[in-house]
Amino acid sequence: MEERSIQIVTRSAKQTEEIGRLLGGLAEPGDLYLLVGELGAGKTTLARGIARGLGIEGYLTSPTFTLVNEYEGRLPFYHIDLYRLEGLGEVMDLGFEEYLSGRGVTAIEWPEKAEGLLPESYLLISLDAPSVNRRRIDFRAEGARYEELMDQLARRLKS
Ligand SMILES: Nc1ncnc2c1ncn2[C@@H]1O[C@H](COP(=O)(O)OP(=O)(O)OP(=O)(O)O)[C@@H](O)[C@H]1O
Ligand SMILES: [Mg+2]
């Protein structure tokens, strides 16, 4: 069965990271994950988990002086944070196409800032915080690749 959306509630940052790790373990070349949510919603925490699932250890925070941090794991991992983006010109300079057409996996925080410049297939991950340590995570597939991925993720979450 093809899943279109999955909702999960986590009760700690560690649990959110663990969900990211499952996703990172399923990632394939060219995957694009959009991380949407308010400040402190847990986007970077989830991205850290994705990195772990790709076999990347060590420090991972949001890129601050650059918009992109690149890591080498089982696949390259591009962690992009557009929060500080000044204008769309800067996104064009980033050269999304190159990140997205390669072997790597791309996760973007604040993708709303690049509205209109992103591909039409992606996994949308929306986070919100109903209370201090609780996060609702909503996964939504746009495109066949991500429906398949959600199907696999749903199976992992059950086991
Ligand atoms: N269940 C949870 N899942 C994720 N983070 C949690 C959870 N409970 C508490 N937290 C805390 O919430 C914060 C989430 O911060 P994080 O940097 O991941 O957010 P963010 O969405 O990337 O914010 P920003 O928009 O500022 O980049 C961390 O301090 C983390 O410890
Ligand atoms: Mg962040």
Residue 147 is predicted with a pLDDT of 96
- Around ligand 1, the residues with Cβ closer than 6 Å are 10-13, 15-16, 37, 39-45, 62, 83, 109, 133-135
* CATH number of the domain that residue 71 is part of: 3.40.50.300
> Is 120 a member of any domain?
no
Instruction: Determine the distance separating the centroid of ligand 1 and the alpha carbon of 45, expressed in angstroms.
Output: 6
Three-class SS of residue 125? Answer: strand
Indicate whether 8 belongs to any domain. no
User: Which pairing describes strands 134-142 and 122-131: parallel, antiparallel, or unpaired?
Assistant: antiparallel
In a domain, 49, yes or no: yes
Query: Does residue 147 fall inside a structural domain?
Result: no
What is the pTM for the complete model shown? 0.95
Alpha carbons 129 and 10: distance in angstroms, whole number? 10
Distance between CA atoms of residues 1 and 148, nearest Å:
9
- How many angstroms separate the alpha carbon of residue 6 from the centre of ligand 1? 20
CA angle 49, 140, 87 (to 5 degrees): 75
Residue 23: CB atoms within 10 Å: 27
Q: Is the residue at 38 inside a domain? A: yes
What crossing angle do the helices spanning 13-26 and 144-158 adopt, rounded to 10°?
130
Count the domains in the chain: 1
Asked if the structure places residue 139 within a domain, the reply is no
Q: Mean pLDDT in each 10-residue stretch from start to end of the chain (159 residues)? A: 82 98 98 97 97 90 79 95 87 84 95 91 98 98 96 92
Pick the atom of ligand 1 nearest to 83's CA. 25
Ligand nearest to the CA of 41: 1
- Residue 39 CA: which ligand is closest? 1
Residue 90 CA to ligand 1 center (angstroms) comes to 26
Question: Domain of 60?
Answer: 29-110
